[in-house]
A and B are shown apart, each in its own frame.
Chain A
Amino acid sequence: MMKIIKVNEDVCVLCHLCEIACIVEHSESKDILKVFKREKPRPIARCAVEEDKPLSFSLMCRHCDDAPCVKACSNGSMHRDERGYVVVDEETCIGCWMCIMVCPYGVIRRDERRQKWNLSTKCNMCPDRDIPACVEVCPNEALVLGDVVECT
Chain B
Amino acid sequence: MHIVILGNSTVAVAAVEAIRSIDNMENKITVVSNEPFFTYSHPLLPNYLVGEVEEDEEKFSYRRKGFYEQNKLNTILGDAAVFIDKNAKTVELKSGKEIAYDRLIVATGGIPIVPPMEGVNLENVFTFTNLTEVKKFKTALPNIKKCVVVGGGLIGTRLTEKLSIYGVETYLIELLERLVVLALDDYGAGLIRKELEKAGGHIITGDSVKSILGEKKVCGVKLASGKEISCDAVAIAIGVRPNMDIAKNAGLEVGRGGVITDEYMRTSDPNIFSGGDIVETYDLTSNQRRSIPILPIAYAQGEVAGLNILNREVKFKGGFPMNSMKIGGIEFISMGTVNPEKDAEIIERKYDNGDYKKFIIKNNCLSGAIFIGDIEKAGMFNWMIKERFNVKRIKDYFLKEDFGWKYFDRDTRNLRISRQLK
**Chain A interface (Cβ within 8 Å of chain B)?**
4, 6-7, 9, 50-52, 55-57, 59, 62, 64, 68, 71-72, 74-77, 91-94, 96-106, 108-110, 116-117, 148-151
User: Does B342 count as interface, using CB distance less than 8 angstroms?
Assistant: no
User: Does B115 count as interface, using CB distance less than 8 angstroms?
Assistant: no
Pick from B42, B324, B405, B419: contact of A59, CB below 8 A: B405
User: Does B418 count as interface, using CB distance less than 8 angstroms?
Assistant: yes
User: Does B422 count as interface, using CB distance less than 8 angstroms?
Assistant: yes
CB within 8 Å for A100 and B420 given contacts A76-B61, A105-B379, A106-B376: no
Q: 15 new A-B pairs (CB below 8 Å) besides A74-B41, A77-B59?
A: A51-B406, A52-B406, A57-B406, A71-B14, A72-B299, A75-B43, A76-B62, A101-B333, A101-B375, A101-B379, A102-B322, A104-B382, A105-B405, A108-B379, A110-B375
Inter-chain contact B333/A97, CB cutoff 8 Å: yes
Inter-chain contact B406/A101, CB cutoff 8 Å: no
CB within 8 Å for A74 and B379 given contacts A7-B417, A52-B407: no
Distance, CA A60 to CA B215, complexed state (A): 60
- The chain B residue sitting closest to A148, CB to CB, is B419
Inter-chain contact A71/B43, CB cutoff 8 Å: no
Tally of contacts, chain A with chain B, CB under 8 A = 134
Interface residues on B, range: 35 or more
Pick from B61, B299, B326, B405: contact of A50, CB below 8 A: B405
CB within 8 Å for A98 and B296 given contacts A52-B407, A151-B422: yes
Shortest CB-to-CB span from A65 to chain B, Å, is 8
Task: List B33-70 residues whose CB lies under 8 Å from chain A.
Answer: 41-44, 47, 52-53, 58-64
Distance, CA A91 to CA B53, complexed state (A): 13
Give chain A residues whose Cβ lies under 8 Å from the Cβ of B42: 74
Inter-chain contact B324/A106, CB cutoff 8 Å: no
Complex A-B, nearest 8 residue pairs according to Cβ-Cβ distance, in ascending order: A103-B379, A104-B383, A75-B41, A106-B377, A72-B296, A92-B59, A74-B43, A50-B406
> Could you give 23 example pairs across A and B, Cβ below 8 Å?
A50-B406, A71-B14, A74-B44, A75-B61, A77-B59, A91-B59, A94-B44, A97-B324, A100-B324, A100-B333, A100-B378, A101-B322, A101-B324, A101-B378, A101-B382, A102-B296, A102-B322, A103-B380, A104-B379, A104-B380, A110-B376, A149-B419, A151-B421
Pick from B53, B300, B383: contact of A71, CB below 8 A: B300
Shortest CB-to-CB span from B251 to chain A, Å, is 31
Distance, CA A6 to CA B406, complexed state (A): 16
Give chain A residues whose Cβ lies under 8 Å from the Cβ of B206: none
- The chain B residue sitting closest to A52, CB to CB, is B406
Inter-chain contact A150/B324, CB cutoff 8 Å: no
Shortest CB-to-CB span from A125 to chain B, Å, is 15
Give chain B residues whose Cβ lies under 8 Å from the Cβ of A77: 59
Shortest CB-to-CB span from A109 to chain B, Å, is 6
Inter-chain contact B379/A68, CB cutoff 8 Å: yes
Shortest CB-to-CB span from B281 to chain A, Å, is 15
Inter-chain contact A76/B299, CB cutoff 8 Å: no
User: Does B303 count as interface, using CB distance less than 8 angstroms?
Assistant: yes
Shortest CB-to-CB span from B210 to chain A, Å, is 35
- The chain B residue sitting closest to A149, CB to CB, is B420
Task: List B271-321 residues whose CB lies under 8 Å from chain A.
Answer: 295-296, 299-300, 303
Distance, CA A4 to CA B326, complexed state (A): 33
Interface string of B10-42 (1 = CB under 8 A from A): 000010000000000000000000000000011
Distance, CA A77 to CA B418, complexed state (A): 26
Inter-chain contact A102/B382, CB cutoff 8 Å: yes
Shortest CB-to-CB span from B4 to chain A, Å, is 23
Pick from A57, A62, A97: contact of B419, CB below 8 A: A62
Give chain B residues whose Cβ lies under 8 Å from the Cβ of A59: 404-405, 417
Give chain B residues whose Cβ lies under 8 Å from the Cβ of A91: 58-59
Distance, CA A151 to CA B303, complexed state (A): 21
Give chain A residues whose Cβ lies under 8 Å from the Cβ of B323: 101
Shortest CB-to-CB span from A110 to chain B, Å, is 6
Give chain B residues whose Cβ lies under 8 Å from the Cβ of A51: 406
Distance, CA A7 to CA B417, complexed state (A): 7
Inter-chain contact B382/A96, CB cutoff 8 Å: no
- The chain A residue sitting closest to B421, CB to CB, is A151
Give chain A residues whose Cβ lies under 8 Å from the Cβ of B63: 76
Shortest CB-to-CB span from B130 to chain A, Å, is 15
Shortest CB-to-CB span from B422 to chain A, Å, is 6
Distance, CA A38 to CA B58, complexed state (A): 32
Interface string of B393-415 (1 = CB under 8 A from A): 00000000010111100000111
Pick from B43, B324, B419: contact of A4, CB below 8 A: B419
User: Does B335 count as interface, using CB distance less than 8 angstroms?
Assistant: yes
Shortest CB-to-CB span from B29 to chain A, Å, is 18
Distance, CA A103 to CA B376, complexed state (A): 9
Shortest CB-to-CB span from A112 to chain B, Å, is 9
Shortest CB-to-CB span from B384 to chain A, Å, is 9
User: Does B123 count as interface, using CB distance less than 8 angstroms?
Assistant: no
Shortest CB-to-CB span from B393 to chain A, Å, is 15
Inter-chain contact B418/A7, CB cutoff 8 Å: yes
Inter-chain contact B295/A75, CB cutoff 8 Å: no
